[in-house]
Structure formats: C-alpha cells, structure tokens
Chain A
Amino acid sequence: MRLLRLFGVFLRVSVMGEAAYPANFLAHLLDSALELAAALAGLALIFAHTATLGGWRPEELGALVGVYFLVGGIIGLVIQPGMEQLTESVRDGTLDFTLAKPEDSQLLVSLWRVEIWKLIDVGLGLVVLGVALARLGQRVGVAQAAAFAAALIAGGVIVYSFWLILATSAFWLVRVENILVIFQSVYEAGRWPVSIYPGWLRFGLTFLVPVAFAITVPAQALAGRLTWRVLLGTAGFAVLLFGAARLFWRAGIRHYSGASS
C-alpha cells in the first residue's frame, strides 16, 4: 500500500507545518460550521413549505448535504491543493524535481499537498451523514450501505480523474488555474439532487463537471433509490475516466520539456 504510506508521510508533513498555528483550527471550524448551518437552515426553510423536494424526503436531503461536505472535504483535503500545486510547478518548472524521484509521478503529485484543516469538513460531513442515517433508520440495509460505499468510491475516483485531466492540461495550456476555480463554483450546485435541474443543466452537472456522480449518486444509494444499472454505469465510468486520466498524464509528462530547455 504505497498509496497509504505516501499519504501518511505527506499528512505528517502538513500537520507539522500547520501545528505552529493552532488558532487556525478554530477559525476554520467556525468557517465550516457556519457554512453547514446555512445549508441546514436552507433545508429547514424549504421543508417548511413542502414535504418532499423532487421526491426527496428531508432526511434524505440531509444525507445529501452530508455527502456534499464529505466529498467537498476530501477534494479540499488532498485533490485540489495537489492539482493547484501541479499547475504551478508546471508553470515554473519545479516539476523536474518530482519527476526525478523514484516513485510514480502521478501518485506523488496527487498526494504531495495535504490541507489538513479540510478534515473538519470531512468530520462535519460524517456527523451530518450519521444523523441523517439514524433518522432514516431501518430503511438503510446492508445492501444500501454497500451500494453507498461503492458509489462514494466510484464518485471519488471520477472527481479525482476529472481534476487530474484538468490539471494535466497545464502541460499544454500552462495557465489553467481559472478552470480549476470554475469547478469549485459549479460544485455548489451539487448541494441539491441533480434530478431537480432542467435537462441541459443536469447533463452539464453529470458529464461536463461530474457533480452528479460525486454527490447525488451516493446519496441516492442511501435513500435506496439507486438502480443496479446506474451503480454499474457509475463504476464503469469511473474505471474509464481513471484510465483516460492516466493516459493523458503520461502524454503530458512526455510533452513536458522541463525548466531548463
């Protein structure tokens, strides 16, 4: 498990770096707690007027908000900072040092930056998810839980591959920070089930920016409304996109000419 060992190393480095600023913990906790409070207050406001939103019961949407924070936290924890640093080091040429290391370069650039404070979002997401699950009660069986885990992993792989493809395009386009920021602003649309959006927007949120796979599909699994076909399709798409990202990364590395040439 080179992946876990490397992640452990980078996590330790990040903890050592940030431990010098303990007050940051409270500041980040306040930020995340406020955002979560706003999301839940928004839900309360909506369900004061209706019993279901597009067929979703309150506790199911609560689970969706939990998944939103969980996945958003993971993206912010390791994917986004790593990919931002990647575009940066392609631009200034410091990627040379990374390529010279005796470890898979894709693995390295995917893990080399860990923003530990985002663990707060991961934790809050898990708490919300737990509360929502307790409310859903017996409706969540073993099959649903397994489908949820599978959908979450597949969704995570899809989001990761998507980010890697965007960041890898820096080998040709050089300045892609703006494209990365756009994902962040579109991700917010995932706080609601994509099924409520009109067709063109749903398509965009599924295939152009894979918010649907990352958030709606796992939450659907918990609510027990995920068909096996969608789950298999998601898993297939994850494998496909991961392979494509890997090939694209290889092509990018070959194209990369380094700082001194």
Chain B
Amino acid sequence: MAGQIKRLIDSMIEQRAQGNKVLEGVVKMKLILKGIDPKSYTDASPDDPVVMDKLINLMKELK
C-alpha cells in the first residue's frame, strides 16, 4: 500500500477545517510545525507507520 498518509492528511484537514479555507491553512501549518509537511506526501508516498499513527491520534483529539 502507498498514499495512506496523504489520505489521512486530507481527511484530517477536512475534519478540522470543514471547508473553511483559513482554518485549512492553520491546520496545514500546525502539521508542518510537527514535522509533517502535507505537500511532501502524494498518492505514491510509502505508508510510514510512525507518521500514520501520529495523524490517527491527532484526528482522535477533536472527535
């Protein structure tokens, strides 16, 4: 499998920003400051389990 990180990032941005463009930028910047740059991940990026766990845990925080 590949591309799961990009899908998680897209899902997280959608969940947290709910279409608000300003919030989308804030969420992306928060991720960059955590060392996860959304633009670095594509549909072909390997599924790094460490990054995936981090994203899954972050998504749980606001549920």
Partners in one complex: no
Q: Which residues of B contact A (CB under 8 A)?
A: none
